[in-house]
Amino acid sequence: MDNGSIESKTKQNIDLVDYVNPLMGTDSDFSLSNGNTYPAIATPWAMNFWTPMTSKMGDGWTYKYDENKIRGIKQTHQPSPWINDYAAFSFMATTGDLKFQEDERASWFSHKAETVKPYHYKVYLADYDVTAEVSPTERAAHFKFTFPESEKSYIMLDAFFKGSMVKILPKERKIIGYCRNNSGGVPENFHNYFVAEFDKDFEINHTWTDDWKLLENVTESEGKHVGAIIGFKTKKGETVNVKVASSFISPEQAQITLDREIGKDSFEQTKEKAKQAWNTELNRIQIEDQNIDNIRTFYSSLYRVLLFPRKFYEFDAANEVVHYSPYNGEVLPGYMFTDNGFWDTFRAVFPFFNMMYPDLNSKIVQGLENTYKESGWLPEWASPGHRDCMIGSNSAPIIADAFLKGAKDLDTDLLMEALIKNATVSEGRPVNSVGRAGVDYYNDLGYVPYDVGINENAARTLEYAYADFTIAKMAEKLGKTEIADTYYKKSMNYKNLFDPETSWMRGKNKDGKFQTPFNPLKWGDAFTEGNSVHYTWSVFHDVDGLIELMGGKDKFDEKLDEVFNMPPVFDASYYGFTIHEIREMQIVNMGNYAHGNQPIQHMIYLYNYANKSYKAQEKIRKVLTTLYSATPDGYCGDEDNGQTSAWYVFSALGFYPVTPGADEYVIGSPLFDKATLHLENGNTFIVEADNNGKHNFYIQKASLNGTDYQNSFLKFDDLQKGGELKFSMGNTPNNDWASKPENTPYSVSTAQKSKLLNIK
């Protein structure tokens, strides 16, 4: 496609959603992640997604690209295969002799006879000569099954294991019921109530009960694992529509939602509404460029950024916002969002929302307030309630960054109370990932010791120190000077783990001595899904301070180079086998740089702090063009709720939020000729790159609104005001651009020194 044709299209509200490939990242398994995604057939941030199942019920890898049989199309809420699913149930259509057990009913299919769009999934079930389709709304979906001529055609609803109920209502052409399957994080009264309406009379009404026992002509079944089967004769090409909705609140609420979100709409109307929902969001960023593959990768990544966290709230009969609380089991007013690992998404997903979706992010933070009210704690990994996964205190940067960037209608007193509780209280944490494991040691010693039985202690220390910085920033803006001073001091705790002998971060024992023996390439142990070579750079808020510890910018620059120049050697002894994150680092030929996992994803941008921006430009462009593609193997590791995608989206635009909580983005190397950001406040911000190309990734000069621009950072307010950031690109480094100390991005120690000088 030529440049002109793309330019002419992107100036209108075009079908950008058709650039999206929901199969990006689906060629994955336990041993190697190329994304660990499934095709999410959903609207943005929807309460319910739908996806085809190639794998057995309960398998976290529900859709594997290289498998060739489909067992059904399920409602899913899975944020990751490691966290797994909850509240799932599925539909499947068959013909001929009745087959309803999941292994027996599975049908051969081909990607050649499969259509996969965010708003529409269609597949030919070869064993039954049936075409199955689904299009989504936020809380409902519309299925269309096209049958052959058959005396025996069936549609079955599998309500899954761990507790379920189905009831067939032939006169009403409905199946109602509930499913209770989950992987943890739910109260005792957890149910997902569903209602499915058909447009054809039922001639056969069967259910099944536990152990796949068929109950012929029995219309109701309840047990550990039940399902419903309805059947009829069909003519060649006959279509049967199924409209389905669900609710975590009640069966009545499921019906209200179905009537409201689909009602009398045809399948094509549901499909078109879902398509336009995606086009509305994707058109907020319009790209003009000659490379169609890069455009496909950009919008496929942006689609992933806009899926999570999911809306875990509903609209009652009075159209009021209510939610079933996954924390206390009550139905309460207000917003609730879930299915998010903040350890991943604090880095770029939520900063993206603050840039492009401030109203949404305000609602998300209001949902965090409700989580605190309902459970006594802020979430760190919710699905749907608190789950024990990952480390850190990353609700703090998410809340602080939203507040500092203007989130509305927040209860700041409540939020500060919650943040301080996280940072000070060790008792009563519902799971180990909530609050701060080792907080008493951290507050007493300034670090979490290596030898007191708290795993991943060095990683925890570094993340707590950064979280303390964000608490300080929020407290400062609220005028809480004493709290701000306390937490600014605590944010320097990262220095306690810096080993001057090796210039790496290192676990430290309770007695103040560094742990031995020390191998900076040992994954896990003192660190989380990485090693010291990765985590040493997790000083998001004070890179200048880290530079000083390393002995200056030249040594810092050399240390960054060392990560890329060393071979991909590793020590996996902590795990006892080579975990997939290690393998993903090993195979991409970038030394010990592990872009497939989150701890190091900001690291390339740190060259800017050493006034070596051209090195960042070179390496960012390499990652953008070699580690991502809109293909089933298109990621270089776990996609993780939009975070690995958000790195791509930001970096392709030309900048990245290294320090959520600060008011800056750090500049990299823009991928496209032109990107137009339509901001929520009505302003437009344009990033343009003249002479951009495959080999022209070095910035020669830059201007902001027509004025020469030498900074390797972009202010949040400058972007929000609208305007144009223009780059001239070339194929050789310009060592002079952004080369002065004042051109470097934010660091708290430098900012505080400047503040003191200004006071004096």
Global confidence as pTM: 0.97
Residue 236: which residues within 8 A CB-CB, separation 6 or more?
Answer: 147, 148, 149
pLDDT digits 0-9 by tens, 309-326: 999 999 999 999 999 999
* 135-136-140-143 Cα dihedral, nearest 10 degrees: 10
What local confidence, expressed as pLDDT, does residue 12 receive? 52
> Which pLDDT score is estimated for 13?
64
pLDDT of residue 756: 65
- For residue 217, the model assigns a pLDDT of 98
Are the C-beta atoms of 189 and 276 separated by less than 8 Å? no
Question: Tell me: the pLDDT tens digits for 675-722?
Answer: 999 999 999 999 999 999 999 999 999 999 999 999 999 999 999 999
Name the β-bridge partners of 178.
165, 193
Residues 6+ apart with CB under 8 A from 673: 3, 288, 289, 290, 688, 689, 690, 692
pLDDT (0 to 100) of residue 754: 77
For position 14, what pLDDT does the model report?
Answer: 78
**Please, what's the b/e burial string for 478-494 (b: 16 or more CB within 10 A of its CB; e: otherwise)?**
eebeebbebbbebbbbb
Cα separation of 532 and 517, whole Å? 13
Q: What is the pLDDT of residue 60?
A: 97
CB-side neighbour CA atoms (13 Å) of 331:
13
Q: CA 165, CA 160: separation in Å to the nearest integer?
A: 9
Instruction: Report the C-alpha dihedral over residues 298, 299, 305, 310, rounded to 10 degrees.
Output: -170
Spell out where 199-342 has E strands: 204-209, 213-215, 220-223, 227-234, 238-247, 285-288, 310-311, 314-315, 321-324, 331-333, 337-338, 340-341
| Confidence (pLDDT) at 237 | 98
Helix or strand (DSSP H, E) at 441: helix 439-445
Residue ranges of the chain with per-residue pLDDT less than 70? 1-13, 756-760
Tell me, what's the pLDDT at 6?
39
Q: With the CA atoms of 745, 671, 597 and 747 taken in that order, what torsion angle do they form, in degrees rounded to the nearest 10?
A: 0
Query: How far is Cα 7 from Cα 600, in angstroms, rounded to an integer?
Result: 35
Pairing of strands 723-730, 684-690: parallel
Residue 314: the pLDDT is 98
